[in-house]
Structure formats: structure tokens, C-alpha cells
Structure 1
Amino acid sequence: MQKQLLTAFLVVTTSVLYPQSPAPNILVVLTDDMGYADLSVHNQEADVRTPNIDRLARSGALCTAGYITAPQCIPSRAGLLSGRYQQRYGLDHNGTIPLPLTEKLIPERLKDAGYATGMAGKWHLEPNHQQEEWIREHLPELAEKKTFVPSDIPDKMKRAYRSDRRGFDDVFEGYINNYLTNYTLAGEDKETSAENIPDYRLDIQTEAALSFIRRHKEEPFFYYLSYFAPHVPLEAPSKYLDRFPGEMPERRRHCLAMLSAVDDGVGRVQDLLAELGLTENTLVFFISDNGAPLKMIKEDITLDFKGGAWDGSLNTPFIGEKGMLSEGGIHVPFVVSWSGTIPAGQRYDHPVSSLDVAATSLAAAGLPTAKELDGKNLLPHLNGTTTSAPHKYLFWRFWEQIAVRSGNYKYLRVGGREFLFDVTTDEHETNNLLGEHPRKARKLARKLDRWTQSLKNPGVPGNPNQSETQWYDFYFPKTED
């Protein structure tokens, strides 16, 4: 009885703070390897054009200090969907483990409140051949192998980890043309199966979202639109490429074209919500999963090279790139919009995190707070109920790097190198303040070290790997004392 009364109280309280009827729809749009500069409302690069995402930002809050939990796709996505630091369950980087089946994800939680759930696009949270830790535990017969290939992992072992087994009712999971689907773009149910769709990957992912919204317009829904862009391989049809004529690196042109396709998709989703009368009853997040991979010198390698290379995106004005705990790797585009609930036209400067998507979604849906979540409910911060910052500390541990942000300051350590930055200044990570504020640095270092003791694999990182050494020597050249 006490639990029932508490739940009823929370639902009533939530309805007063966020008056909507019925429960709000929730849409999470996630891009892949999109840098901070490539949202035109940030006014960093003159060649990028994202008018529809800009419109979304102007309808709510443009979060200028938006962060993800890792500068790499698998841990970043795991942190967002679980609402917990992914290091708590041992998913520190791509080469560790898949998203554990013991973690309860946002769609699973929202189903408890009667939500229809769906996703389209990149998933990437099932077992893969780079996850040596998981392979050696679950496939001991492969213990003698030094390297693994995708075929080493049986499909039947991956199946439980796919999106339709992790709380998503309707799925259109895929990257380019091959999709795991259980509904059609025309909005009809179908048996779950693999399907090849001969169209442009980003248009497919947009159409899947539009189909889902039409299917579930009469009930509250949660949709995860995970665009595979501007991640390599770079490709775009002429209808998007022709928008960016003139001299520029071809990788840049293709990146801009792909982001223009994403922008068109976001615009079409907004237009459909308006047509259905759902705009004021839909909470929307727009976030990138990490910063752009610049490969340091942004080499314009020919597009027939499909592997890891600069994707044409930019992290201006920040230092570093994907794979680093510098701002260029983890400080990303971040928009939150809910017309009529979150006042329009905001530039919100306090640090926010992708961890906050889960906590905010649960609060908006009227569900009780889940104490195990690391994120915060952003709604009282964005609607003016409180002026305090959502987070006192944000933490990171990735490969052999470790960092914490508190207020204006960020402490970063890789190997024996330490940095303290005021990331709110124009100098951000070009001015190491370690010598000026040693006590602040020590305080943040102690806080960070204590946080690492709460993780599945406790402790601080050791010696940087080859990539980290090259990056930090390039972006943070050592100076003589």
C-alpha cells in the first residue's frame, strides 16, 4: 500500500510540474561521430547548414556544455540507454563486453508506464569480435586464438542482445541497407527478419521513424532514432551533395551532405508531429555519440577507402577528437526540446550529460526515480524551477585516460601528464592551469580516484597506448619547465 501511495504521489507531482495529457512522447535522435562544430546554430563553421535541427534548438534549450560518457560509440550508447556510467558494469570501451543483459534500458523502464517503444538505425550493442573479455568468458573453445573474426561469434549468441530483445517493440535496426525489422516502412507488422532495402541509409532511417510515429500516434511512445552519420563509410546521393558546391575536401562535402540528410529527417519528424498535433506533447533530445575523428591532420583520403579515417566533421573550437577525453572527444551537440514545457530560445550553459536522458524520460513519464541511475532529471533545470546546476561532478574513464568536470574546471590525466582547464573560457584546453591552482587539481584528482573505486573494474588507468601518446603529443605539446 505504501508503495502504491508513493507511486500515485509521484505521478500527481509530475503532472503538476510537467502538465501534459496524455503522457509525453519521447524521441531521442543520436548522430554518429558528429563534432560540436557541425550544428550550424553553434556558429563555428560557415559551410554547415542544419536549419531544422537549429529550429529544434530554438524551440527549447541549446545545451552548450553537453557531454557524452565516452569518446567511442559502444560505451557512449550504453551509458545513454542505461542511464548509468557504463564503467559500473565493465563496458569501458569497444573491446570489453556487449551491453549486459542485466542492465535495464530506457525502453524497458518506459514500457512499465504503457509506452510503445521503437528504434531505427545503428545499434552496435551486441557481442562483437573485438570484445576479447566477453569472448574468452563465453566461448572458452576459442581461448587459443590470438585474434578473432566476426564469424567466431554464433548468431544465436548475439540474438539476446539485439534491440528487439532489449525493450524495443518495433525495430528497424541496421546501418546501410541491411536491417533487422518487424514492421514495414508502410506501417504494417511483419515477422522479425533481415531485410535488404535499396535506398539511401539516412532516408531509410528517417522513414522508419515516420512510420513508427504514425503507427503509435494514439499512445505515448519512446523512439530512438540512431542515425548512422556522418560515420564512415561516407556516402550521399546528389540531392544532398549538390547543396554544397565549391572547393572543399571531398570528405568535408560528403559529411555536410550526410548531415543535411539527417537535418531533413529531423525536419520531417517535426513536421509530422505538428501535423498530428503532437508537438507540445513530445520531449525531444538531439545528441551526438562522440566527437569527430579528425585523425589529427584531417587528411582527405579518397572515398573508396572505407575504413577508419577523418569523416569530414569538425570539433571547432575544441581541442582533440574521438578517442580522447579532451573536449573535442566528449563535448558534443546537445539539444532538449519540449514545446510548452521547456521555454524556447534557451542557451543552457551548465554541464549536462547523455546520462540525463534516462532520468529525464522517467520523470516526464511520471515514473518514480530509479536510484541506481547516474543521470539527473533536467526538466526542473530547463523549465526554470531551479537555477542550480544538475551535476556537481561529471566523470570519465576511457582507455588510459581519466577526467572530471566540476563547475568551470576540468581535470584530465593521461599517464603521468596532468591538466587543469577552465573550459568556460575562450582558451578552454589551450591553457593548463595546473601550476596556478594545484590545490583545486589535487581535490579533483582525489574525487576522481574515489569514483573509480565504485566501478566494476576499480582503479585508475596506467600507461597510455600508442594512439593516446600520439594524440596527446600532437594536441597538447609538452613545454619546457
Structure 2
Amino acid sequence: MFSTYPNHFLLPFRYLLIAVLTFAGLQAAAQTNSKPNIIFIFSDDHAYQAISAYGNKLVQTPNIDRIAKEGALLTNNIVTNSICGPSRATLLTGKYSHMNGYKRNDNTRFNTNQTLLSETLRNSGYQTAWIGKMHLNSLPAGFDYWNVLPGQGSYYNPDFIGQPNDTTKYTGYVSNVITQLSTEWLDKRDNSKPFFLIVGHKATHREWLPDLQDLGAYDKIDFPVPANFYDEYKGRAAALNQDMSIEKTMRLKQDLKIDLDYEKDWTYKRFNPEQKKVFKAYYDKITKEFHEKKLTGKALTEWKYQRYLKDYYAVAKSLDRNIGTLLDYLDKSGLAKNTVVIYASDQGFYLGEHGWFDKRFIYEESLKTPFVIRYPGVIKPGTRTEDLTMNIDWAPTVLNIAGAKIPADMQGKSFLPLLKETRTAQVPWRKEAYYHYYEFPDPHHVYPHFGLRTNRYKLAYFYGGADSWELFDLQKDPTEVNNIYGTKGAEAISADLKAKLKVLMNEYKDEEALKILASAKK
């Protein structure tokens, strides 16, 4: 079809079209060359061994795996203090607990009057937001927008505290609500700025309430009992005296949902009638099965273990699905090409290893935490690193990605050079990682301790009553059941690691630990 307009009318239109196309091209080029957006998805108590990308063969986490396949997976990502609040404080400060002031999960208010990742990014031109679980007894600081769960938050029909400190109750399952709020913020954000968004998930925190659609998702799987499930803790006084065992500590009612009181328990009073009907029907069936079996001894302990994992993994299923929803949003909105996506948990977690649940110890399952990162055009898909990275490194790495200056008081360093496609073998990196845990005696009676981990060995000193050293050869004893400290042939490695431990304490300015070390038993 031909136009009937004269050419002199078409010329301005052609010029306009050329101008529009040129502007669009320049805008696209500017977006491509601009600072990358960054999304940090941060879960709670999600064990690395619960993720298929980390080797779990019975449970699939396709969306976390997708980030790893399209980017990098860190196999030795270590926390400095294996507990929720302190790990979150470390994310925001890039500092150890003794330096940022948040050592325990107690009533301490996180000190926001210190150098923060969020504020540093905002000063570098980023729009910043935190949505979901924060758990630091304070409101977010350095964020342009926030909408966070109060305290631990609720799995069903959760409350959120938004600006200006208003509380709103949302109907639905918490993981779904967090994702919805996150995508809504992304839709409304200031498009003229790059953004940094923390998506803080409640999953997979105790008491492990699955989404209705995931109830019974793993009921047909019989999970194998870990080799050290019946650990007798020989030569490990602190491990012997803990209170975090599946056998003794895990509660039938609150944790495993046996004989629930839907009318009096505040957790279930939040349910609406439709939610309660579905949830109750499933757990009434589990309760009936439990009473019919009349289990005792090891049979009871192993039944508790199976129920624990079935609920835990069902909660993790909703977490992974929501990560997929967010990744799909980035694809459909065109943001994926210029958005770095990170997934991490605040620390590791025990899934029956040593007979436990929870975290805290310097042992592998709670010391290491999952960390996967996708950075299109910078990190080669399928990258893996065995280097000892730490959660004090998270903030410096994010700042490095953003092109922002890393503050001098941050104690970590960026591990981006370890992940870049152009990495050379000469990248200098740490050979030892330092750890210090404080919370005692409540709630799980894990003695305070400090220590270090190398690629092969782990040395720890428990104090506050346990007063004992532990040394493990991770190459020969990966499940950490054989404490070789004080045995013949271990003298040289013990002395070497003690010397390195003191160096790290001085490097990270842990004065309290240095005093304890000076008076520690030999």
C-alpha cells in the first residue's frame, strides 16, 4: 500500500523516525554499558547439602541450580559466626561480629551508625531496597525502600513493616508474598538508576511450615540416615553436651506438627478457614500415623528425622520455585542481561549429620553456606571455585561489582577476581579462614568457640566451660568424628595452626579471642 501524502510531508516524519531510533539505540547502549543491577536473594537456614547443584540426588532445586549453571558456584563459602542475625550484620558491614557489634541472636539492636553496604551503594548512585526477612532488631538503614518481616515473621498471612513504620498483613504464603512485593517494587523503581535489592526469605527456618501446594511433596522418599547420625561424640566435649539433637531436642508438636492445637497456637490462629482446612487434613493424617506406630527408641528418632526432612525440603521447594519466578521476571522484563543475581543462605544447617538440626558449630555443615552468582558477560557459565571465601567478602564483592570504592573498615575482600572469565592463576587469596561463635547457653547449649579452617585441616578451641581443643583432618575424616588433637603425629600441624590462628586474630582485631587464647589449655 502506498502513501498518498506528498514527499514534503513525509520528510519530517522520516527525520523523526530516525531520531527516535537513534535515541532508542543510544538508550539501549547506555543500559548495556551502565552499572549492573544487583539482586541478593538471602534465605534462612538453607543447607548447601539440600541443593542439587551441591550434590543432593534426592531433592531438585532447578532454579538455584540455574543460577549456578549460568554463573558460578562457590564450594567453600564460609561464615564467620554461624547464626542468623550476626550473618546478616556481616552482609551489611563486611565485618566480623566483634567489629560490627552483633554477636548473638538476642535483643541487641543492630548498630546502623557504621559503614553499611546499602549506604555505600546509595552514595554510588544505586537505588536500594530490602524486602522480606531482615531479623536484626532494627529497621533497615541506607535503603530507599524497605518492607520487612517483624522478627522471624510468619509463614502464613505474614505481617510486614513498611515505610513509614506501618504494619500491613498480607494474605498468602510468605515466600510467595515476598516475591510479589519484590517484583512490584521492580516495576515501580526509578528506572534512571541501577538498583540493589535484597530479597530476604524466611524459608527454611524452623518450624518448617510448607506451602499448601507442597504438603507431602517428599512423602514417597525414604531419606538415608547420615553415616554419623548416631555419633557418640568421642573426644568432643562440646558436641556431647549440646542441645540440638533430633532425638532429644526436636519437638513433636511445634516442629513436627503432631497433635496441633489450631485454636490456641498463635501460629495457626493466623490461618484463614481455607488454609486451615488443607493444612489440618494433611497433618491430621500424619498425627494418626504417628499414634498408630507407637514408636520408641531409635525407631522414634528415625521417624522424627524423616518427618523433619520431608517438611524442611517441602519448605525449600517453595523457596526454589519463587527464585524461579524472580528469574522469569528478569527475563520477561529485559533486565536479566544487566542484572547480577546472587543466591546465598545466612549460614549452613544440619540435616541429621551428627544427629542434629540447627547450626552454630564450626563443623562443615553449619560453617559452609551455599553461594551461587550469575553475572552475564563477566562470569563464565559453569564456573566453580574451591577457594576459601567468607561472608565478610560478600559486601566488598558487591561493591566491586557496582564499581564502588570498598570502605577501609570492611574486613573482607572482593572475590570477583576469582570468578572472572579472565582470571589468571596468580590471583592472591587466603589459605586460612577464621571463625568465632558466641551464643551460650541458650537456646541450644553450644559452647562459644573460635578456630580456623584450611583446605585440609580444621582447628577449634571451645571455651566457657568446655575448654578443649579439636583438630580434624578433613581429607581423611570429612565427617569430623575423629578429633586428632593431642594424638601422636599431630603435634607439628597443631602448633602450625595455632600460630596461624593467632595471626588471624590479630589481623581481624579480635582482642577478646586473643586473651582467651593466651590462657587456653595446651
Q: Indicate whether the TM-score tops 0.5.
A: yes
Who is 2:434 aligned against?
A: 395
Deviation at 1:433, TM superposition (A): 4.9
Confirm or deny: 8 A CA contact 1:29 1:224 kept in the other structure: yes
Partner of 1:58: 69
Change in CA separation of 1:266 and 1:296 when aligned onto 2, cut-off 3 Å: closer
Deviations 1:219-246 (A, max 9, x none): 3111111110111222123312253342
2: distance between equivalents of 1:117 and 1:52? Answer: 24
Contact 2:309/2:351 (<8 A) preserved: no
Q: 1:130: which partner in 2?
A: none
- Are 2:80 and 1:23 equivalent residues in the alignment? no
Cα–Cα, structure 1 residues 291 and 238, in superposed 2: closer, same or farther, change >3 Å?
Answer: same
Per the TM alignment, residue 430 of structure 1 is displaced from its structure 2 partner at its CA by 3.8
Task: Tell me how far apart the structure 2 counterparts of residues 326 and 386 of structure 1 sit (CA, whole Å).
Answer: 31
Which among 446, 449, 467 is matched to residue 499 of structure 2?
Answer: 446
Question: Of residues 178, 183, 193 in structure 1, which corresponds to 2:159?
Answer: 178
In 1, are the aligned partners of 2:35 and 2:402 still within 8 Å (CA)? yes
1:206 pairs with 2:179: yes
Matches within 5 A, 1:338-417: 338-383=375-420, 384-387=422-425, 388=427, 390-399=429-438, 400-415=448-463, 416-417=467-468
Q: Tell me which residue corresponds to 1:259.
A: 316
Aligned match of 2:282? none
**231 and 88 in structure 1: CA distance in 2 versus 1, 3 angstrom threshold:** same
- Answer yes or no: is 1:43 the counterpart of 2:98: no
Q: Which residue of 1 aligns with 2:295?
A: none
Residues 93 and 100, structure 2, Cα contact 8 Å, conserved in 1:
no
Q: Structure 1 CA distance, aligned partners of 2:309 and 2:455?
A: 34
AA matched with 2:196: F
Aligned to 2:348: 291
> In the TM superposition, what whole-angstrom CA distance separates every residue of 1:314-362 from its partner, at most 9, and x where no partner exists?
xxxxxxx502111122111111221211111022111111221111111
Distance 1:79 1:43 in 2: 27
8 Å CA contact 2:216, 2:310 repeated in 1: no
Map 1:22-421 onto structure 2 (within 5 A).
Answer: 22-44=34-56, 46-95=57-106, 97-126=108-137, 161-163=138-140, 166-174=141-149, 175-176=153-154, 177-182=158-163, 192-216=165-189, 218=191, 219-246=193-220, 249-293=306-350, 310=357, 322-383=359-420, 384-387=422-425, 388=427, 390-399=429-438, 400-415=448-463, 416-421=467-472
- Output the CA distance in 1 between the equivalents of 2:428 and 2:53: 23
Letter in 1 for 2:491: P
Alpha-carbon distance between aligned partners in 1 of 2:359 and 2:335, rounded to the nearest angstrom = 36
Quick check: 1:76–1:290 contact (8 Å CA) kept in 2? yes
Q: Offset at 1:210?
A: 1.4
Distance 1:295 1:103 in 2: 38
Separation (CA, whole Å) in 1 of partners of 2:482 and 2:384: 25
Give the superposed CA RMSD. 2.5
Which of 429, 433, 436 pairs up with 2:480? 429
Checking the alignment, whether the CA contact within 8 Å between 1:40 and 1:50 is kept in structure 2 is yes
Question: Aligned equivalents of 2:190 and 2:100: distance in 1?
Answer: 36
Count of matched residue positions in the alignment of Structure 1 and Structure 2:
379
- For 1:53 and 1:417, the matched residues in 2 are separated by 39
Letter in 2 for 1:121: G
- What corresponds to 2:242 in structure 1? none
8 Å Cα contact 1:40-1:54 kept in structure 2:
yes
Deviations 1:142-188 (A, max 9, x none): xxxxxxxxxxxxxxxxxxx311xx11221120122010124xxxxxx
Distance 2:379 2:126 in 1: 22
Whole-Å Cα distance in 1 between the matches of residues 48 and 390 of structure 2? 14
Q: 1:38 to 1:424 in 2, by over 3 A?
A: same
Cα distance in 2, alignment partners of residues 168 and 295 from structure 1: 38
- Unmatched segments (≥5 aa) in structure 1: 1-18, 127-160, 183-190, 300-309, 311-320, 463-481
| Rounded Cα–Cα distance in structure 2 between residues aligned with 1:428 and 1:97 | 34
**CA separation of 1:245 and 1:377: change in aligned 2, threshold 3 A:** same
Q: Cα distance, 1:216 vs. partner? A: 2.7
Gaps of 5+ in 2: 1-30, 223-305, 439-447, 518-522
The letter for the 1-side match of 2:493 is: K
What amino acid maps onto 2:179 in structure 1?
Answer: T
Give the CA deviation at 1:192. Answer: 4.4
Q: Secondary structure at the match of 1:76?
A: helix
Indicate conservation of the 8 Å contact 2:46/2:204, yes or no: yes
Instruction: Give the structure-1-normalised TM-score.
Output: 0.73
Q: State the Cα distance separating 1:396 from its structure 2 match.
A: 0.9
Give me the whole-angstrom Cα distance separating, in 2, the residues matched to 1:20 and 1:419. Answer: 51
CA contact (8 A) 2:450 2:513 kept: no
Once the two structures are TM-superposed, the CA of residue 423 in structure 1 deviates from its matched residue by: 3.3
Check conservation: 2:147, 2:160, Cα contact below 8 A.
yes
Question: 447, 455, 467: which one pairs with 2:510?
Answer: 455
Q: Indicate conservation of the 8 Å contact 1:89/1:455, yes or no.
A: no
Whole-angstrom CA distance in 2 between matches of 1:438 and 1:26: 47
